[in-house]
Amino acid sequence: MSETQALTTPAGELRATDDLDKVVTALKFFRVMAIIAGVALLILCVELILHYGFNNEALSWWSPIHGVLFIIFMASVYNLGTKLRWTAVRMVGYICTAFVPVLSFWLEHRVNTGVSALIGEAEGGR
């Protein structure tokens, strides 16, 4: 891949001048946060069932923690998305998966598979 060429796949776009180590680090951060966000959402669902279904406040402290974790997940999507030149619509779509229980686990697998293949192609071309 020459200086002006770009490697473009459905997973994203990499250019010869891009630092692959930063992309790999961003992918790891995204994967960790997608899994944490998924688990946090499942715990939030349990908290809501306890609160509204059984009038139990045992997990009432969880909502603010979930909010902070969700914001960090959004940052991880933005971080990876800017490195792979994703559109804003795509990043917002990926963030929206965190609103549906277990969907972030599917997203993590899908993005990891695509981006890992993209990184492999980029490393092979250098």
DSSP 36: H
Output the pLDDT for position 24.
96
Decide if pLDDT at 2 tops 90: no
Output the pLDDT for position 16.
85
With pLDDT > 90 as the criterion, what percentage of the chain qualifies?
85
Q: Which two tokens stand for residue 113?
A: 């598979």
Q: In this predicted model, which residue has the larger pLDDT, 80 or 5? A: 80
Q: pTM for the full model?
A: 0.91
Q: In this predicted model, which residue has the larger pLDDT, 16 or 5? A: 16
User: Tens digits of per-residue pLDDT, 38-72?
Assistant: 999 999 999 999 999 999 999 999 999 999 999 99
The secondary structure of 50-104 as a DSSP string is IIIIH---TTTTHHHHHHHHHHHHHHHHHHHHHHTT--HHHHHHHHHGGGSTTHH
Output the pLDDT for position 4.
56
Output the pLDDT for position 66.
97
For tokens 């930063």, name the residue.
22
DSSP 5: -
Decide if pLDDT at 92 tops 60: yes
Nearest CA to 41 out of 96, 121, 92, 118 is that of: 96
How far is 118 from 63, CA to CA, in rounded Å?
36
